[in-house]
């Protein structure tokens, strides 16, 4: 079975603090992992994908196959990072499977 787990429904941090949004996956093959973000009153959009190994808006995510994780990290949170974040896996049948999402609140 393929599954994505985001253990935190809500993560609240202060501005300038480090952020780590957790994502674990279950998949027996070679996965492709993504992070999607939805800012308030905006549509869901791709933030980053593991295959590109890039940093977007200061966020990075490393695929750890040993721990089956794809945590999203940013060293210094900003208020504009407040949003809903979804981790997603492309697995069997090339369909995207999404986690339940984590709300990030950055407090001033």
Partner 1 sequence: DVKVTQSSRYLVKRTGEKVFLECVQDMDHENMFWYRQDPGLGLRLIYFSYDVKMKEKGDIPEGYSVSREKKERFSLILESASTNQTSMYLCASSLGQGGGWSTDTQYFGPGTRLTVL
SS3 content of the chain, % helix, strand, coil (to 5): 10, 50, 45
| Smallest distance from partner 1 to CB 29, Å | 14
Closer to partner 1 by Cβ: residue 70 or 86: 86
Residue among 22 and 98 whose Cβ is closer to partner 1 = 98
Name the residues that contact partner 1, by CB under 8 A: 4, 6, 9, 32, 43-46, 49, 51, 86, 88, 90, 94-101
Minimum distance, C-beta of residue 55 to partner 1, in the bound complex (Å): 17
Which two tokens mark 107? 């407090």
Q: For residues 49 and 74, which CB has a smaller minimum distance to partner 1 in the complex? A: 49
DSSP string computed for 2-65: -EEE---SEEEEETTS-EEE--EEE-SS--EEEEEEE-TTS--EEEEEGGGT--BTTBEE--BT
d(CA 34, CA 73): 13
C-beta closer to partner 1: residue 19 or 48: 48
Minimum distance between the CB of residue 93 and partner 1, rounded to whole angstroms? 8
């Amino acid at each position: 079975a393929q599954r994505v787990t985001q253990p935190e429904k809500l993560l609240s941090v202060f501005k300038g603090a480090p952020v780590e949004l957790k994502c674990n996956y279950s998949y027996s093959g070679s996965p492709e992992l993504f992070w999607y973000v939805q800012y308030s009153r905006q549509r869901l959009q791709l933030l980053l994908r593991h295959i590109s190994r890039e940093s977007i808006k200061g966020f990075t995510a490393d695929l750890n196959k040993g721990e089956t994780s794809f945590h999203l990290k940013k060293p210094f949170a900003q208020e504009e990072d407040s949003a809903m974040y979804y981790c997603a896996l492309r697995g069997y049948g090339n369909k995207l499977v999404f986690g339940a999402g984590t709300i990030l609140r950055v407090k001033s």
